[in-house]
Structure 1
Amino acid sequence: MKCQQPGCTGSVQDGYCDVCGMSATPGASVSPSPSSSPAPPSTTAGGPGSAATLDGQPCGQAGCTGTIDDGYCDVCGSPATGASAAVAASSQSDPMSTRTGSARTSASRIQSAAVGSTRAGTSATRRSGSASRRMRAARLGAGLTVVPAAPAVDALKAVIPNPSVPEDKRTCSKCDSPIGRSKGDQPGRSEGFCPKCGQEFSFTPKLGAGDLVGGQYEVAGALAHGGLGWIYLARDRNVSNRWVVLKGLLNSGDPDALAAAIAEQQFLAQVEHPLIVEIYNFVTHEGAGYIVMEWVGGRSLKQILKRRMKDNNGVYDPLPVDQALAYILEVLPAFGYLHDLGLVYCDFKPDNLIQVGDAVKLIDLGGVRRITDEDSAIFGTVGYQAPEVPVVGTSIASDIYTIGRTLVVLCMEFRGYQGTYLHTLPPPESTPLFQMHDSLYWLIAKCCAPDPADRFGSAEELRTQLLGVLREVVAAKTSGTALTSAASPVFEAPATSASALDWSQLPDLRPDPSDPQYSWLTSVGDAEPAELIKALEQAPEESAEVLLRRARAAIALGDTAAATASTAQLLTQDPWDWRALWLDGLAAMKEEDWEAAKAAFSAVHRQVPGELGPKLALAIACENGGLPEIAEGLYATCAATDAAYAAPAAFGMARVRAAAGDTAGAVRALDLVPTTSRGYPESRQLRADVLLAGSQDDLAVLDQALTSIASVRMDPGERQRYTVRILRHALDSVTKGAGVPAGTARPTVGGVEAREDALRDALENAYRALAREADNLGDRVLLVNEANAVRNRTLV
């Protein structure tokens, strides 16, 4: 039988078409034409709160100039406030029928509502909606936080109508002396020579609208004034009239010097990275050289800060810390790329990072130079440039320094960064930002360390730690416990099933695959400590990993002196290897030398501020070393940031609060342990212990204690022991006269009404159940006697 569906050439077999799969049942529905298709309820116009009711309204994102189209902004792609999500039609089918594939079980048989070109009609030539933007994950924020998208900037609107440099911004490019300033009624000169060093200067644009540079680039106007002069917008007449940027390279009347400068900068054309502005060409025009760069139509971080300040009535309004970290996190791969090429950026600051939509781009490559370059000029900005640069030149470490200084400027009003704190940071005790975010402070402090060797060794190392700090900052903005976990590149996960951690249950160090003895150590395996130490004596080389393994094995044997000897040897080889200090902290913890433990773990925390392992270890040392408030803060950070740390951190927080007599606070801390954690059953037992210890004859608290253990799996004998303790305490409270206020319902303890006879019956049953679980006759007899002693008196 031929299929009756319009246009189908199939035949009906077993009641269904072998081509389109439609049913051959008479009267079966046929896909309606676009003109007759009823609109799905989720897309009909006019419903309250629907996307259609918001179309045409301005976008609600700060600084965005777009309008709402199909429920989403046509510029930044952000959803309209209040727009309801589209309701997808669903069909429920027999789950058993999906076990084998056939024409009868194929989802293609389901009649689809009209969408796309089918709905728009055959004459549609473009997409009118922007729903696809919802499918694209935002790049900025690493999925941890949200950074508002920056709208695109019209190139022509960025041109300055009457370009000029304010007199207070005119300084000599050679000696930084003020030049071109007014004297009395006489205005300052825009061109001339520095009276101090004789350097020629000019603040007048050399290019005007319509000028053709290099026979290819038609100038539209000036965009800004930089360290090398004016920056211009132009059209590339040879490549589809695309917009480009012209930046002065060298103003010199010496053609040989100009040719040498251009040749020296040609390597910039080889830089190709999605986060770095592209260099197209180098051209000369009337004795001046220009770099031809990609036009990036967005806003620099400096412009974003200025806009925030303007919107805040002229008061400096720094970026939220999580957003500032997100910007830096996003651009760090660009620095890693340059460094791998043997290049340094030199002049990073908020002016040189532009946001376009939800992406960023590093601009202004005029200061980029080779790491080995010892002769060419160094470009930098006061307040951002590393202190050693004038003496020893630029390096990866000096780039790291500029990143740290930029991060401070983004996060707070950094007063004195070009004066009082030119090469230092404000003290934490007087800086609220650093007091609130301890890890952020140590991250910045390591970036901006006075000695370049003390800074992060690479952009990737900085990125790893910055990501950890971002997770902490985001977690601090929310309440409760983290629901996700992120693997650390240097630490294993901590133990989650012990309420009191010892040194062996703290996170272990991950082995370093780049260690020369890594392959040999994998052949050794996880032997017993004594056997491991003997095996390590045969190591071909006493590398860092060999020394670390030996130290840990020595701690396990209780030989902390041998452990510290191994770590001392490692620190002799590499004084910056913080892993040795981690083992020193474990050894001190083994000896219960809490002062030494605090010192070691604090040093590790400062070296890897984005890691939670050192924070957990430092919290334990502070808890036992007389600093409970610091311990509680560190425990809270760990519990809120990573699900793997939730249980041990919550246990620690509960211990600190219980020791201070804060029973309710201890209970709240234990409630942070998620039900999915292996430590959850133990947290319920500890919760019962805390409530029992702080009950003070309060029957309601005792009821909570018994309820705590009711919902978790426990050993039957352990459960009965808790039940006996709690019911015994409740019975003592009732017999001592813990009365019930008149007119109120009598409380219950674990479902047992708080009356003496009812509690005695429940307690007797608990004793007898515990007796049945006893391992020996003597214990069983004692428990039966306890049951007989507590039972209600009877006449029989």
Structure 2
Amino acid sequence: MNQCTDPHCTGEIDDGFCDVCGMEPLLSRPVAAPGGAAVPGGGQDSAPDLAETEWPATGRESLEWASPWAEPATRGTLGLGMVDVPPVPYRDPQDAVMTNPVVAERKRFCGNCSAAVGRSHDGVPGRTEGFCWSCGVEFSFAPKISPGEWVAGQYEVLGCLAHGGLGWTYLARDHNVDGRWVVLKGLLNSGDAEAHKTAAVERSMLAEVEHPSIVKIHNFVRHPDPRTGEAVGHIVMEYIGGKSLGELNQERRARSGGEDGLPVEHVIAYGLEAVRALGYLHSAGLLYCDFKPENVIQSEEQIKLIDLGGMRRMEDTVSPVYATAGYRVPESELCGIGPTVSSDLYAVGRALAVLSFRFDYVRQYPHSLPDPSEEPLLARYPSYDRFLRRATNPEPALRFQDAATMAEQLTGVLREVLSHERGRPYPARSTLFSPEHFASNAGSAATIDEVDQMLRTPDPSAAAVDLPTPLVDPDDPAAGFLAGLSGVPTEQLAATLEEVDDPTPEIRLMLARAHINLRRPEDAHVPLRMFTSQDWRAFWYLAALALSSGDTAGAREQFEEIRDRLPGEAAPKLALGMACECDGAPETAARYYALLWNTDHAYVSAAFGLARLYLAGGERAEAVRTLDTVPELSNLRAHARIAAVEALITSAGSQPPGDHDLREAGDRLEGLKLPDESHQRLAIRLLEAALRLARPAAANPHPPTLLGNPMHEEGLRRNLEHTYRMLARTAGDADRYALIDRANRIRPWTWV
């Protein structure tokens, strides 16, 4: 046994894993071969056969699978063009050939009963061929083809590339197709009947698969075993000149002393392409079953899924299934449940975690993840943490059930991560939620009263109305009918929907929304009763209903559940920000508002929420800075500019504005070009705030100017008097007299 190579661990390597931390050893040298081979594993003895375990074939859970995948992956699209993943140089195939093709003893197991075979004892090296001591089945770990041999009169073998769970892989030249490089994959043990079956499955399924992110099969040939003369099948696959994600992760860990995983944005980029490929397989009725970093190779700017030997059809409940410890779902061990779409996606979630940070995913956390308090990366990216926890949830029904949904949520998480890292937004229109109604509920022209309302803590019922709403399912029979009601007033909309004799689910949801907007909580409950708690759309309206009714604590709890289910969506974070603010939790609300606003400037209510909370906390400059980031093209840009002036002239927490704040407010007001009445009303607020801090003219002989007049007591009084009288000219009778009285009281004392 050898000392664990993690500098923070005192354990020893036993059977390839540390007996304390459970991790594989760090690479002590750069990975040589066989990164270019289309085989599981990343190094010369890295195929984790020890961890591959057969799933029982009975009791397969029946879950719906995804609709056909919309768009295949293409070269150079890692991270949807948002992430610059360093390309992995194409590796010369001849450099990848193993000089000493030997299966490490720790990876020698019987293909029939999984007993350890071929092990050394008493100083005598273990046998590479023989019979299992437990079940008597013959085993052989020796390569079956030697360098220089020809296979099927077409393929000239140069040597071994690597070994995997089902056999050796060899590099060869195809002399029938311009000498192109190919990979031949044979059986680990020609006498292993189960391995023969699995290889036959791989051959038939590979022939059906055509996707740019999945290894291609060219041919299937037979070659005699040199010892028995038996014809052994070999799959002929494309050569992929790159490195597995497992290799890339090991190299990164070696450079960082064992601490760092791959950059999280790179990991997500890999995950998106992998999920895209799995979505393709699922749409064809196939399950991959053994996803792990060692089975994904990056070459240049593209990744490829390799080693399809564990694949099976969804309806197949008989064939054995192989999965790797640390990546297999808990129900496979506890209940004997076979693979499903969600178990494929579970393995992706586990792989992303393994690539992102170091943890004992085999022994200490075989079906769970470290807490964010233990792993800083999860604390830094809470949405990524929630994504991983949903993907790897122990309860099958709570995981992602289709690749499209998983990819969509992971894309949203990627946008948040990039916004955090790069300090700029990465917006995108949601396919699940409408835009927020905050902007559409605001008036087309920015008024002072409206802006005043935006800078006050929202009323819970008003906050519920402003939230985004789930989009109508286009497959609902009433989708077209509901689209025609988009411009109908809410009162009339509710009456129309109440008259429908046989309402569809979408009609019920829209009716609930109408009643929420009309502040009719009892009526809103009725159409939601038919839905189960698993329908997140109905759950969204129940949460909005709780918020509208003033149950802010209940709304927070319900919106948190939706956030956990949809970790990449913006709408639940906005809803939580509003619910927390209404519930008297400003710090939590500010975190949600900031996360959302930093990612997508389309949610202007988050900017106003942040500004409110900054002001309440005495951070006037931050409030103004946030309001200034409302985009020029937003229809609430004018509201934000007025709000910035108000933020400068009102108290921030217990801090009144200073001279600098007031002068900046004056400059901003003069640049707003508001209608006369709005300009005068805002000017009065500014001048009154300045007057409270002003000194007499004699004490300030060289004052700055504010709105064109000296910023001392006499100048401010004259300015205020003039502004009161200007505003009185257009006011109604009652207001006119009050404004004139104010002007008379505020005017400077004179002898006439």
Partner of residue 394, structure 1: 339
Q: What's the CA shift for 1:615?
A: 0.4
Partner of residue 691, structure 2: 731
Q: What is the TM-score when the length of structure 1 is the normalising length? A: 0.77
Q: What's the CA shift for 1:713?
A: 4.4
Tell me the secondary structure at the aligned position of residue 236 of structure 2.
strand
Q: What's the CA shift for 1:174?
A: 4.4
- Matched-pair contact (CA < 8 Å) for 1:280–1:292: yes
Query: In 2, Cα distance between the equivalents of 1:320 and 1:751?
Result: 55
For 1:555-581, what per-residue CA distance to the aligned partner results, in whole angstroms no more than 9, with x for missing partners?
12322123233223111xxx4211111
Q: What's the CA shift for 1:540?
A: 6.1
Q: What's the CA shift for 1:229?
A: 2.2
For 1:61-106, what per-residue CA distance to the aligned partner results, in whole angstroms no more than 9, with x for missing partners?
xx99xxxxxxxxxxxxxxxxxxxxxxxxxxxxxxxxxxxxxxxxxx
Task: Check if 1:245 corresponds to 2:176.
Answer: no
Partner of residue 551, structure 2: 593
- Range 385-394 or range 585-594, more displaced: 385-394
Query: In 2, Cα distance between the equivalents of 1:215 and 1:387?
Result: 47
Q: What's the CA shift for 1:239?
A: 1.5
Partner of residue 625, structure 1: 583
Task: Check if 1:309 corresponds to 2:279.
Answer: no
Q: What's the CA shift for 1:507?
A: 1.0
Amino acid at match of 1:187: P
Q: What's the CA shift for 1:602?
A: 0.9
Query: In 2, Cα distance between the equivalents of 1:174 and 1:316?
Result: 38
Query: In 2, Cα distance between the equivalents of 1:564 and 1:429?
Result: 39
Equivalent position to 2:79, from 137, 141, 144: 141
For 1:476-532, what per-residue CA distance to the aligned partner results, in whole angstroms no more than 9, with x for missing partners?
1133x52x6311101111145453562111112211112233244345555444543
Task: Check if 1:457 corresponds to 2:401.
Answer: yes
Partner of residue 467, structure 2: 506
Cα 1:622/1:258, change in 2 over 3 Å: closer
Query: In 1, Cα distance between the equivalents of 2:198 and 2:400?
Result: 35
Task: Check if 1:790 corresponds to 2:735.
Answer: no
Cα 1:710/1:194, change in 2 over 3 Å: farther
Partner of residue 404, structure 1: 349
- Range 686-695 or range 340-349, more displaced: 686-695
Map 1:220-259 onto structure 2 (within 5 A): 220-249=158-187, 251-253=189-191, 258=196
Tell me the secondary structure at the aligned position of residue 530 of structure 2.
helix
Amino acid at match of 1:579: R
Tell me the secondary structure at the aligned position of residue 304 of structure 2.
strand
Partner of residue 561, structure 2: 603
For 1:333-362, what per-residue CA distance to the aligned partner results, in whole angstroms no more than 9, with x for missing partners?
211111111101111111111112222221
Amino acid at match of 2:433: F
Partner of residue 574, structure 2: 616
Query: In 2, Cα distance between the equivalents of 1:182 and 1:376?
Result: 33
Cα 1:352/1:738, change in 2 over 3 Å: farther
Equivalent position to 1:777, from 726, 733, 745: 733
Query: In 1, Cα distance between the equivalents of 2:194 and 2:543?
Result: 62
Q: What's the CA shift for 1:403?
A: 0.6
Equivalent position to 1:433, from 362, 365, 377: 377
For 1:22-65, what per-residue CA distance to the aligned partner results, in whole angstroms no more than 9, with x for missing partners?
xxxxxxxxxxxxxxxxxxxxxxxxxxxxxxxxxxxxxxxxx99x
Partner of residue 716, structure 2: 759
Query: In 2, Cα distance between the equivalents of 1:256 and 1:731?
Result: 90
Equivalent position to 2:513, from 529, 544, 552: 552
- Matched-pair contact (CA < 8 Å) for 1:192–1:202: yes
- Aligned residues, how many? 652
Tell me the secondary structure at the aligned position of residue 734 of structure 1.
coil
For 1:1-41, what per-residue CA distance to the aligned partner results, in whole angstroms no more than 9, with x for missing partners?
xxxxxxxxxxxxxxxxxxxxxxxxxxxxxxxxxxxxxxxxx
Q: What is the TM-score when the length of structure 2 is the normalising length? A: 0.81
Partner of residue 334, structure 1: 277
Query: In 1, Cα distance between the equivalents of 2:204 and 2:671?
Result: 70
Map 1:211-360 onto structure 2 (within 5 A): 211-249=149-187, 251-253=189-191, 258=196, 262=200, 265-286=203-224, 287-312=231-256, 314-360=257-303
Q: What's the CA shift for 1:464?
A: 0.8
**Unaligned runs of at least 5 residues, structure 2:** 1-29, 32-73, 225-230, 443-453
Amino acid at match of 1:512: D
Q: What's the CA shift for 1:697?
A: 5.7
Q: Could you tell me the percent identity over the aligned residues?
A: 42
Query: In 2, Cα distance between the equivalents of 1:616 and 1:560?
Result: 21
Query: In 1, Cα distance between the equivalents of 2:237 and 2:221?
Result: 11
- Matched-pair contact (CA < 8 Å) for 1:598–1:622: yes
Query: In 2, Cα distance between the equivalents of 1:722 and 1:260?
Result: 78
- Matched-pair contact (CA < 8 Å) for 1:300–1:351: yes
Query: In 2, Cα distance between the equivalents of 1:729 and 1:189?
Result: 91
Query: In 1, Cα distance between the equivalents of 2:298 and 2:354?
Result: 17
- Range 691-700 or range 151-160, more displaced: 691-700
Q: What's the CA shift for 1:631?
A: 0.9
Tell me the secondary structure at the aligned position of residue 170 of structure 2.
strand
Tell me the secondary structure at the aligned position of residue 292 of structure 1.
strand
Q: What's the CA shift for 1:263?
A: 6.9
Q: CA RMSD in A?
A: 2.8
Cα 1:176/1:233, change in 2 over 3 Å: same
Tell me the secondary structure at the aligned position of residue 298 of structure 2.
strand
Cα 1:535/1:780, change in 2 over 3 Å: closer
Map 1:537-576 onto structure 2 (within 5 A): 537=498, 539=500, 541-571=502-532, 575-576=533-534
Cα 1:302/1:531, change in 2 over 3 Å: same
- Range 518-527 or range 706-715, more displaced: 518-527
Partner of residue 444, structure 1: 388
Tell me the secondary structure at the aligned position of residue 231 of structure 1.
strand
Partner of residue 625, structure 2: 668
Partner of residue 419, structure 1: 363
Amino acid at match of 2:617: A
Task: Check if 1:656 corresponds to 2:613.
Answer: yes
Amino acid at match of 2:183: V
Query: In 1, Cα distance between the equivalents of 2:197 and 2:106?
Result: 33
Query: In 2, Cα distance between the equivalents of 1:723 and 1:748?
Result: 14
Q: What's the CA shift for 1:438?
A: 1.3
